[in-house]
Structure 1
């Protein structure tokens, strides 16, 4: 972004505001433009990030008193020169350009001999080194606005964590028979797992986040874990809205056969899983 030539640009025109606009008007115009060109709003525009960065540099210059004064002098001089330039014929224009070039080459020494463009570049360099708190605040405001405007998924796994508990003695090196890999195998059959963490301080405890609500609800309702040491599930922030309620402990006679068959299938699947795990460990 170092090739951005501020002295050759009309910053007010880019922001679509008047030359003498107030600081608040400048910030308001910046917010409008920044929201329009932010990369999150323009995923198909490869230049969106560059445009957003350029707007922040423009805001940086126009909200700094010294930099803006230097820029305004350059802009005013450039516009006046353009008017004079159009009024001169070709021959006189060439003589004027030659004279200005000789004067530029002869200029040197202290700050008072520097061109307005040189002074502006020095102010821009100062801003680059010092940074601008105003610009940083405005950028953060833009990011917050975009975040608020972005459609949110109905399911937020971070707000619907599930605590898992099982019996384990404090000094049990086997943690009640559970490892992270074993828990992951039990739970992943319900759906994608966003995060799964065993408590580093407390035995018999873990947290899990599921990518989809249905997967989380199924795990809470159906998973038992090891038959000799069952898992217990608890929603950290309470069950999510619209969550399927667990089946009643009172099973109707008409449902007894189907429930029994389901439990037998789950037990058989669990047995095969444990046998496979033991075989994998023996091979390793």
Structure 2
């Protein structure tokens, strides 16, 4: 584009700054201009750049057409918004290129400095220095790798442990059942365990415990009431064919205040604590043996 009015701009659409064409500030400042300010700039430029005012300029018509085209872009809210976004993209690209150029220049300067320093250093000392630097870098990488592995392992374990610790600290053990099963005979997830125990009352929570064996798994079932826990223990704890070994987390001891209560207690809790009220761990072993014998037959 010829002449001072042309602003020295390329007429390629991808490179035209419509704000500059109208003699307006560009960039963020231009995006804040009102429509009235844009219209005023267009009228002023039209008076000076109309072809009738520049009969000797062969580019006058093309320049005025560009002026009109730029005004049409900026007067429409949609096209102006799109153009503002394009300008921002251009500025960001320029900044990135500038940053990269600065970085490249710095790298070149650093390289020259190292080369000058190396020229004044004894070759044997330089080799030793490089070896020490490589050894230190390798040591740092190994330490960083070990730290990442330890952190990942800790995060995987801590999630389950924290939930189990929270259950043990905040909930009444009198409402909790320990459930274990042989995984080879079928596995259980939270939903399946909840479905099994909701037959006896509302289930507050189910926590699958961290796996300690390939063949066996266990979980903690928290019932909303002690009565629901007793019903579940009675119904599921007394059947050898049941694949789940169900035991209260806190062994139930019946009340023997009278002869009648003894009989009632034996009837009510015999399925839970076993004949003769054996020690808790002994009863667990007995149940496991019964399950194994049943599976053999």
TM score, norm. by length of structure 2:
0.28
Higher relative contact order (CA 8 A, sep 6+): 1
Q: TM-score, normalised by structure 1?
A: 0.30
Higher relative helix content: 2
